[in-house]
Structures are given as C-alpha cells and as structure tokens.
Amino acid sequence: MGRAPDGTPYADLRDLASGVALQAAGLVRRERAVGVEVTSTKTSSIDIVTATDRASEALVRDLLGRLRPDDGVVGEEDDPRAGTSGVRWVVDPIDGTVNFLYGIPQYAVSLAVQVPDAESPLGDGWRTVAGVVVNVATGELFEAVEGGGARRGGVPLEVRRDVPLAQRLVLTGFSYDAEQRRRQAEALVGLLPQVRDVRRMGSAALDLCAVAAGQADAYLEEGTRLWDHAAGVLVAREAGARWELLPGVGGRALLLCAPARGYDEIRDAVVAAGFTATEPSAE
C-alpha cells in the first residue's frame, strides 16, 4: 500500500474516510426518521435534491475541513474546493436519493480519496486510492484501499468467478432523460435474454459493492458521475473486478464493471446489445 503526496498512508486515509462517512450516514438516518423534504431538482423534474443531501455533504465538508484542511473536495451538491496537499476527496452525500425519498433501504454515503495521476483511467488526472461506501439503511460498511483489498464489515470481499454469461445477474440504472432512457431500454431488450436476469436497485455505489461482494455478476450504467462511482469502483476492483468507461448509446460514458475473469464475455454482450455508440462519449 502506498502513501499520498503529503506522506499519509492510504490505509490511514481509508480509515478516516470510514469515520467521516459513518457520521454522515448517521445524520442521513436520523433525517429519514423525521421526514424527507425535496428542495429542488437538477437535470429533470425526477432528478431530485433533498435538504438531507445538502446537510450530509455540509457535514462531510466540515469534518474534512477540520481534519484535513489542505485537501481538495469535489461533491455532488456544492462547488469544488481546491487543495494544496495533493489529496482530493470525492463526496456523494446520498447515492440513491429517490430510494431515500421512498424509504427503500438502498441508499448510501460514498466517499473516495484521490491522488494526482497523469495516467488516470478517468482521464481527469486523479486516481482513487481509498474508498468507502456506507449503506445507510443497513449500516453495512464497504471499504477498500489500493493494493490492500476490499472488505465489508472487516471481512474481505471477493467477486464471483467463472460465471457463464447465461448465469450472470446484471445490475443497471437508467438516465433521468426520457430519450436516453428509451435507448437504454432498447439495449436492455437485447441483453436480457442472454443473462440470468437484470436488476435495477437505484444506487450505483451499492451496485458496485454488490459486484465486489459476489451478490451480482456485472453492473452497467450510462451517465454516472464521478461521485457516484469513485469509491465503488475501487471496492469492486480490489475484490477482483475489472471496470472501464465505454462510449454510451445516449452520448455519455457507460460504466461497465464485472469480475475480471470472464469480463470480455459480458463486455461483448453489452456492446452487441446496443448499449454503446461508435462516437466518443462525454463524462
């Protein structure tokens, strides 16, 4: 396991991320018990923001500001904060906000730690070296550190291996844009007969952790943002998964994640079903 540019071991940053994410999850849990207030929308009328989304991110930023004042922060609900330490935190205060609104127990706080990397797989100059995802409703804590494996509740995680395509359980998600959803649905029709089944659970971060835990055999979704997947892809990768961004049929990046062994088979099926486009994608 490595160290951040300021000398902090990645494992220490993971542990710090776990503590901060658990505090934010506690806030979200308490707020859900009181009631949910939708305060605004983003990309469409069904892409909602709640007061708790903002409160959760504000808490994370406050804690990090006191514990790591020289670090940068990128979050879903507020403007980026530049840092000077060479460490950047990526915050999703509630991944799965619609589930949170409806009381469906599948929403999470996601927190990733990144360091500069000119060869970043995302092409943005940053690489995730520690990540934490907390299922708020159940209290499950997923953690990973680069080179140190992934775990849930302290128990090491490993993907399912040697699963034939026809026996793969695939997780996915859909865009908030109606036309893009139509294209995704058409592609889904092409994939569904080839696999065991498809589930739409509602939280990208938890879907990626499900792949890591062997509770799913692949995850694909077009249009996820950095905060949706930054922590989850590290958890999955450290558990034995492979992931990449492909050009999606709707014009945005398609995230595909599956166990490394047998990855090419599910990738070929996803491409053949029509989830990808020939033109370059945009994040």
**In the numeric block, which tokens belong to residue 104?**
């469906």
Per-chain mean pLDDT for the chain: 93
pLDDT of 106 reads: 97
How are beta strands 197-199 and 169-172 bridged, if at all?
Answer: parallel
Question: Does residue 238 have a known ligand-binding role?
Answer: no
Say if residue 76 carries a ligand binding annotation: yes
Query: Measuring CA to CA, how many Å separate 131 from each of 16, 54, 109, 141, 220?
Result: 10, 21, 11, 11, 19
Residues 86 and 78 sit within 8 Å (Cβ to Cβ): no
Is 224:90 a contact under the CB 8 Å cutoff?
A: no
Q: Rounded to 5, what percent of the chain is helix, strand, coil? A: 35, 30, 35
Q: For residue 12, say whether it is annotated as part of any ligand binding site.
A: no
Identify the pLDDT of residue 1.
75
Least confident piece of the model among 42-56, 130-144, 224-238: 42-56
Torsion angles phi and psi, residue 281, rounded to 5: -95, 165
109 contacts 56 by C-beta, under 8 angstroms: yes
Tell me how far apart the alpha carbons of residues 24 and 12 are, in angstroms, rounded to a whole number.
19
pLDDT at 65: 97
| Average pLDDT, integer, range 54-67 | 96
Measured CA angle at 170 (ends 167, 175), to 5 deg: 160
Q: Tell me which H or E stretch contains 110.
A: strand 108-116
Is 117 annotated as belonging to a binding site?
A: no
CA-to-CA distance for 88 and 123, rounded, in angstroms?
Answer: 15
The residue count of the chain comes to: 283
For residues 234 and 41, which has the higher predicted lDDT (pLDDT)? 234
The pLDDT of residue 36 is 80
Under DSSP, the state recorded for 112 is: E
Q: What is the mean pLDDT of residues 118-130?
A: 89
**So what's the pLDDT on residue 50?**
87
What domains can be seen in the chain, in order of their start residue? 10-156 (3.30.540.10), 165-273 (3.40.190.80)
For residue 75, list its beta bridge partners. 91
Cα 107 to Cα 210: distance, rounded to the nearest angstrom: 13
Residue 16, Cα to own-chain centre: how many angstroms?
A: 19
Q: Please calculate the CA angle 118-243-276 and round it to the nearest 5 degrees.
A: 105
143 among annotated binding-site residues: no
Tokens of 93: 């205060």
- How is residue 170 written in tokens? 């695939």
The mean per-residue pLDDT over the stretch 154-158 comes to 97
